Structure 1
Amino acid sequence: MRGVDELQESYRLEGTWPVGILFSRSGITAISEISQLQGTLLAISEINLAGGVLGKPISPLILDPASDPQRYAQFASSLLMDRGVTNIFGCSASYSRKAVIPVIERRGGLLWYSIGYEGFEYSSNIIYTGPAPNQLHLPLAEYLFPRYGRKLMCVGTDYLFPRESNRIMQDLVSEIGGSIVGEHYLPFNAQRDAFSNIVKEARALGADVIFSTVVGPGIAALYDAYATENLDPSVMPIASLTTNETHCQEMWFEPLPGHIVSAPYFETVGSPRNSNFVANYHQRFGAKRPTDACAEAAYFTVLLFARALERAGTLDPERLRAEVLGLEISAPQGVVMVDPDNSHTYLWPRIGMTEAGRKFRVVAEFKQAMKPDPYLMNYVGLGRINHVQG
């Protein structure tokens, strides 16, 4: 992949800050993880071109776990035990994070985890920079229910994140007298026909929304199945926590306008900081590769790491963790901060709607960064979140 080899060749220990990079460039989760990898590499390149950290470059050792949970664990162990690494940027799907956690905790490393997940977890060996459920699930529910209705057809890939996400949405929709009319979990390699049956069922049961936590290649199959049924997104949209610009770009057709996605970042976020990020990303990886929430979070995660490293002057995980808690930086989505209460990150919830050109138009966003609440301890009910605009 463009941008990987030249950095890979530069990996060395002496006179650098060595870090491990554990994102899949192959396998079922490669689409999202390549975005994460590219965001990570862009940040490292920018930092190194500006003189590195305290005069030394960041030196990445990049491994491809090929979407295999056993390889994530094996490679994490190798990085920590054999390669002189104490900090790892990596993992995407929850099964990969869960595979790595015991290794990270046992070996005393620090995992920088940059993608949205199901919450209800805490490890002092992880810095969580992707959205927690209150920053991802709640804003979506808040936007959907008054505009489209309260009857959801749930469809997801068969692993932890979709199942836990549907549990959260079940609680939210039940609270306002709605219902889940159907709940389906399909394998990562599910084809269009399997999704067509679910879309037909959603229409027959009068669903208002198809709530999707499908990941990997199944995303394109779901949207293709929807389009084949000649449905109208203004009446019954797909509302997703997992679809992004790169998925839309990789589809063999353009998704219909009007589908909904909840994320802290979209390429169309209007700010000089984001415009600069998008331009640099396209320059490095090509104009056809869009930025997305996976790339943006991975990018600013490295910036947080570099700032903490500058303060700590060491790669020691405990020292870095102490410096990053409460640390605030400017990211393409807005100013973000690692919450000292829970090691998750203040982020900017947004709702995007698909539009022509395989892009998303931001139709709602919060006025300020939202405090992460991974256990939903401070959730007070729908209708009480009052920062949504649009």
Structure 2
Amino acid sequence: MARPSYRIGLMFSTTGPYSTVASAMLNGALLAVSEIGEAGPVELMPVVVDPGGDLSRYTALSGQLLAEGVRHVVGCYTSSSRKEVIPCFEKHDGILWYPSHYEGFESADNVVYTGAAPNQHILPLIDYLMSTFGDRAFCVGSNYIWAWENSRILRETVTARGGTVVAERYLPVGETDLRKLVDAVIEARPSFVFSSLIGISGLAFLSALRHACLARGIDQPGTMPVASCNLSEPDLDELEPEARDGHISSSVYFSALRNPVNDAFVSRHAAAYPSAPLTSADAEASYIAVKLLAGALAEAGTDEILAVKAAVARQRLAAPQGDVWVDAETMHLHLTPRIGRSRGTEFDIIREEPAPIRPDPYLVRSSPTDSWFASAPRLRVAK
């Protein structure tokens, strides 16, 4: 008996200013499609589109996919692209499966969020940074909602704990002339730098700051580390070797995780994409999105969105990061927060939760003064 077959959209900007991470996301999604094709309950036929990082093309391509009968699209990396296309999915009765960590404060009826919410990445990161490095933060970011909202959350949390945000600077997506920004950071000498720069801007900043500090005899990783919620293994692969080590990243997945599911994921990814960088949180979130979508389609027996949303709320997946499942109230996932420190092209996991935590996209259950690592040690130090 033939398996049910469904067309799905995969919409990632594999060209443009953040093509490195978007290519990793597409690889993760296609790997899941391949595995489902070999032994899954349904067959998925992917329709791949590339907006090239152009917001107007996200809307046009979403409309094109939905007009052609595709009801489910896995895609978007930036929050600006997600917000740009949501009205299109609402109008044409489709679901966007959004596989990226994001700033929260959203729970759209036509979106399933498979990346981390703010209580699963930025709050644990702030707690770690302030308890380890100090209470003076310098925020840098790409000039759009991801950076604005993350810096706001950081500012409110740091000040509630008695710390200070010494400065905030925002640059256009794709900007690489960062000399003035680097000089401002070094002059301020913060306890840590919080970076929400994406794509080539983030890489240029890490390189420029490292070189400027080396020229001045400053131990930048030890005295003024750069911390982020979006730095991943493919980014490290793009960095020059002398700028790779010592960056702090908060995520729910790192390729260095050791468990049977992730070992198999890393191995299959390497076999499928031998020239690609290591697996990353973005690749895993895309992989998870496709797996959950396939499970929901199989249970629902249709790609009609209300039936699929009801079914996905009952899905549980043994993912590479560990067990994940959907919070039916918000359509976000229960995920496991982790902190990593970069070394070469991967991360050493230095802290992690012992179990997944419930998503809190509006931070209504999370206080700025919650302790993640000290007086309430729910996290263990990873060896």
Specify if TM > 0.5. Answer: yes
- 1:295 partnered with 2:283: yes
After superposition, give the CA deviation of every residue in 1:122-147 in whole Å (9 maximum; x if it has no partner).
11110001011111110101111010
Q: 2:99 aligns with which of 88, 110, 114?
A: 114
- 1:104 maps to which residue? 89
- 1:362 partnered with 2:349: yes
Structure 1: segments with no counterpart, 5+ residues: 1-13
User: What are the equivalent positions in structure 2 for 1:58-207 lying under 5 Å apart?
Assistant: 58-81=44-67, 83-191=68-176, 193-194=177-178, 196-207=179-190
Residues 74 and 98 in structure 2, CA contact (< 8 A), matched pair in contact too: yes
Q: Residues 273 and 125 from structure 1, CA distance in 2 versus in 1: closer, same or farther, beyond 3 angstroms?
A: same
- 1:234 partnered with 2:240: no
Deviation (angstroms), 1:326: 3.7
- 1:17 maps to which residue? 6
Deviation (angstroms), 1:30: 1.3
- 1:30 maps to which residue? 19
After superposition, give the CA deviation of every residue in 1:44-84 in whole Å (9 maximum; x if it has no partner).
0011011x434xx2101111111111111111111111x21
Count matched residues.
370
Deviation (angstroms), 1:281: 0.3
- 2:197 maps to which residue? 214
Deviation (angstroms), 1:89: 0.7
Deviation (angstroms), 1:254: 4.2
Q: 1:379 aligns with which of 366, 369, 372?
A: 366
Structure 2: segments with no counterpart, 5+ residues: none
Deviation (angstroms), 1:219: 1.6
- 2:33 maps to which residue? 44
- 1:389 partnered with 2:372: no
Q: Residues 159 and 315 from structure 1, CA distance in 2 versus in 1: closer, same or farther, beyond 3 angstroms?
A: same
More displaced stretch, 325-334 vs 168-177: 325-334
Residues 326 and 339 in structure 1, CA contact (< 8 A), matched pair in contact too: no
- 1:270 maps to which residue? 258
Residues 73 and 103 in structure 1, CA contact (< 8 A), matched pair in contact too: yes
C-alpha distance in 1 between matches for 2:269 and 2:276: 10
Q: Residues 143 and 347 from structure 1, CA distance in 2 versus in 1: closer, same or farther, beyond 3 angstroms?
A: same
SS for the counterpart of 2:267 is helix
Q: 1:251 aligns with which of 239, 255, 272?
A: 239
C-alpha distance in 2 between matches for 1:78 and 1:288: 30
Q: Percent identity?
A: 36
Residues 248 and 254 in structure 1, CA contact (< 8 A), matched pair in contact too: no
SS for the counterpart of 1:217 is helix
- 2:313 maps to which residue? 325
After superposition, give the CA deviation of every residue in 1:12-51 in whole Å (9 maximum; x if it has no partner).
xx9621111111111112111111111000000011011x
SS for the counterpart of 2:283 is helix
More displaced stretch, 35-44 vs 25-34: 25-34
C-alpha distance in 2 between matches for 1:381 and 1:97: 27
- 1:309 partnered with 2:297: yes
SS for the counterpart of 2:342 is strand
After superposition, give the CA deviation of every residue in 1:232-286 in whole Å (9 maximum; x if it has no partner).
2111100011111001101233434221000100110111111100000010011
C-alpha distance in 2 between matches for 1:271 and 1:388: 18
> What's the TM-score once normalised by structure 2's chain length?
0.94
Residues 226 and 247 in structure 2, CA contact (< 8 A), matched pair in contact too: yes
SS for the counterpart of 1:234 is helix
Residues 255 and 354 in structure 1, CA contact (< 8 A), matched pair in contact too: no
C-alpha distance in 1 between matches for 2:315 and 2:174: 40
- 1:347 maps to which residue? 335
Deviation (angstroms), 1:383: 4.0
More displaced stretch, 198-207 vs 345-354: 198-207
Residues 127 and 371 in structure 2, CA contact (< 8 A), matched pair in contact too: no
SS for the counterpart of 2:29 is helix
SS for the counterpart of 1:116 is coil
Q: Which AA in structure 1 matches 2:367?
A: V
C-alpha distance in 1 between matches for 2:302 and 2:314: 18
- 1:11 maps to which residue? none
RMSD: 1.4
After superposition, give the CA deviation of every residue in 1:264-312 in whole Å (9 maximum; x if it has no partner).
0011011111110000001001154210110011001111111111111
SS for the counterpart of 2:9 is strand
SS for the counterpart of 1:226 is helix
Deviation (angstroms), 1:368: 0.8
> What's the TM-score once normalised by structure 1's chain length?
0.92
